């Protein structure tokens, strides 16, 4: 066992032990504790849990790689703007109102606000979005185990499944929440320490957000010498239309992600829900303002290490990562030296994981980064799996099949659903449909196309009807899924409609959803007077009469 594998194993054992202990200490015996942690999580802790829930393997593992290579700097900024901008929308348009409305899940809100048919459509949408998203997380888990512990992808995913199964099934949302607070602490320390170290080594400035500005000119010149577009050149990798559409899809998708929105039900109050969003933005900013610097440092060092280097003398980090198939070189011209532009293939997912090795940092730091990547993947996976579990147990079993089920029976069904979801997630992690961040980006597009319009209209337009919401979700989700499947299938052989990438089509699907919902609502039965008044009251501060009655189940159904 190498030093890196040893330190990775040490950190993995320590962190996994902490997660399992927290889950055991936080175990629950009520549906409120299982679904929304009893609504008693303080705002700072809730903000950290939200950040961990949302900063998935895509953020930790892939974001810097996308900025550095797939986006060539400027183009990768769509992820930075979209994934953070969505929290502004969430804090302003959704979080406090959904918290005041109550309930456990998005389908719960949709069912009470619109109809039981709309609830079922929302359940399907929540499960689809969550499974697409969780595929990226489990793929990230497999990647980390393969590289740092020398096991195959299947074994790595199975280990991750076992850990998530234990703390998610045992503790529900309460256990997941406090585990995610610990996971955020691990992942942010693991991300920042190498960034500070590499920034100090390369620029002499220990703050990477400042240090990376000093190398942009050098990186631009180096890429120009290689015949590439400058690192900071606008629209070099993605045209303006796709920049706009992808940013919007990620932004509106963030505001509509079911596993993020449910977090605001765990807050103690409406005010705490607002502050949870504020804390989450702060915690997210620590990583998201660091990612561009990691991207720039890594790309500069990779080019300097490889360009013109004899293939027989490639650096150690290159040889290590080539063994797991995430970086390769082909001597196309047969001269025995590396031409970076034409002969090197680098997977976006290795940039952060390989950055400590590229920067020559010691093995303990490399092991810490591996533990951080696992924390990022597992934290998001657990939140997504809880969405699937609660949708099946609460919105299908309890609300539709057996309304008289006891809490014990509901918890049992929820845990069985969780176990089934983990098995499916494991299969998707072993057979992912793309690299980590690409898969996650598709999930954001599906969330934007399905949930965001019906949530916003459900809060701010009292005449939005059940038929309108149902038709809108079906139209938005169906169109977006069809386009994504078609575009991915012809990837490399076609450019889609007007060159729109599948990762940006969620914006179009969202507009279709809005349009269909509004038009159908004009010609269908309006909500009951009580529901219309309740929608008005949800936007008022403080505890209002109808909202209180709704929370206690005293209002008649739609």
Read off the tokens for 333.
Answer: 């011209």
Report, as an integer, the average pLDDT of 333-348: 82
Read off the tokens for 507.
Answer: 């914006």
Instruction: Return all residues near 312 (Cβ < 8 A) that are at least 6 apart.
Output: 336
Nearest to 370 by CA among 385, 349, 400: 349
State the pTM of this model: 0.81
- 263-267, 276-280, 283-287: the lowest-pLDDT one: 263-267
Nearest to 62 by CA among 491, 438, 430: 438
Read off the tokens for 119.
Answer: 């609830």
Distance CA 188, CA 287 (A): 7
Per-residue pLDDT band for 94 (boundaries 50, 70, 90) equals confident
Q: What is the pLDDT of residues 347-398, one digit of tens each?
A: 777 788 888 887 778 888 888 888 888 887 777 777 778 788 888 887 888 8
CATH class for the region spanning 3-29+40-292+349-446: mainly alpha
Query: pLDDT value at position 355?
Result: 81
Contact yes or no for 434/132 (Cβ under 8 A): no
**pLDDT winner (highest mean) among 70-84, 353-367, 398-412, 473-487:** 473-487
Distance CA 551, CA 399 (A): 16
Distance CA 79, CA 385 (A): 24
Contact yes or no for 104/261 (Cβ under 8 A): no
Per-residue pLDDT band for 134 (boundaries 50, 70, 90) equals confident
Per-residue pLDDT band for 491 (boundaries 50, 70, 90) equals very low
Instruction: Return all residues near 314 (Cβ < 8 A) that are at least 6 apart.
Output: 306, 322, 329, 338
**HEC secondary structure over 116-141:** HHHHHHHHHHHHHHHHHHHHHHHHHH
Per-residue pLDDT band for 433 (boundaries 50, 70, 90) equals low
């Amino acid at each position: 066992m190498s030093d890196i594998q040893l330190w990775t194993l040490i950190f993995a054992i320590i962190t996994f032990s902490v997660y399992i202990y927290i889950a055991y200490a936080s175990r629950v015996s009520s549906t409120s504790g299982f679904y929304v942690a009893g609504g008693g999580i303080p705002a700072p802790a809730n903000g950290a849990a939200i950040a961990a829930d949302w900063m998935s393997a895509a953020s930790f593992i892939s974001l810097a790689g996308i900025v550095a290579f797939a986006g060539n700097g400027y183009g990768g900024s769509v992820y930075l703007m979209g994934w953070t901008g969505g929290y502004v929308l969430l804090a302003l348009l959704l979080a406090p109102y959904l918290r005041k409305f109550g309930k456990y899940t998005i389908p719960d809100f949709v069912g009470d606000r619109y109809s039981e048919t709309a609830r079922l459509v929302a359940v399907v949408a929540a499960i689809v979005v969550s499974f697409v998203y969780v595929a990226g997380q489990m793929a990230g888990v497999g990647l980390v185990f393969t590289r740092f512990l020398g096991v195959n992808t299947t074994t790595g995913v199975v280990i991750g499944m076992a850990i998530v199964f234990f703390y998610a099934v045992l503790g529900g949302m309460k256990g997941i929440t406090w585990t995610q607070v610990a996971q955020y602490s691990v992942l942010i320390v693991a991300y920042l320490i190498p960034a500070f170290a590499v920034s100090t080594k390369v620029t002499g400035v220990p703050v990477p957000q400042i240090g990376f500005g000093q190398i942009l000119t050098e990186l631009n010149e180096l890429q120009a010498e290689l015949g590439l577009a400058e690192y900071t050149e606008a629209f070099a990798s993605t045209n303006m239309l796709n920049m706009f559409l992808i940013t919007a899809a990620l932004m509106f998708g963030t505001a509509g992600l079911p596993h993020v929105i449910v977090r605001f039900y765990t807050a103690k109050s409406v005010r705490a829900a607002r502050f949870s969003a504020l804390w989450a933005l702060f915690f997210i900013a620590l990583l998201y303002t660091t990612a561009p610097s990691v991207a720039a440092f890594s790309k500069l060092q990779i080019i300097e290490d490889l360009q013109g280097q004899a293939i027989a003398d490639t650096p150690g980090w290159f040889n290590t990562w080539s063994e797991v198939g995430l970086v390769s070189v082909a001597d196309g011209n047969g001269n025995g030296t590396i031409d970076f532009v034409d002969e090197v293939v680098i997977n976006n997912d290795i940039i952060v994981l390989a950055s400590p090795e590229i920067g020559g940092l010691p093995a303990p730091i490399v092991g810490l980064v591996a533990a951080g990547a696992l924390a990022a993947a597992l934290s998001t996976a657990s939140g997504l799996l809880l969405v699937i579990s609660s949708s099946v147990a609460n919105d299908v079993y309890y609300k539709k099949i057996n309304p008289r089920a006891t809490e014990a029976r509901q918890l049992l069904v929820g845990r069985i659903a969780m176990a089934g979801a983990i098995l499916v997630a494991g299969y998707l992690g072993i057979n992912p449909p793309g690299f980590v961040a690409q898969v996650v980006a598709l999930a954001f597009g599906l969330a934007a196309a399905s949930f965001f319009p019906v949530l916003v209209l459900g809060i701010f337009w009292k005449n939005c009807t059940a038929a309108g919401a149902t038709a809108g979700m079906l139209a938005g989700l169906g169109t977006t899924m069809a386009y994504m499947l078609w575009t991915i299938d012809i990837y490399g052989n076609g450019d889609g409609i007007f060159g729109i990438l599948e990762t940006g089509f969620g914006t179009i699907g969202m507009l279709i959803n809005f349009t269909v919902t509004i038009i159908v609502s004009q010609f269908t039965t309006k909500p009951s007077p009580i529901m219309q008044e309740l929608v008005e009251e949800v936007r008022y501060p403080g505890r209002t009469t109808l909202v209180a009655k709704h929370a206690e189940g005293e209002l008649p159904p739609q």
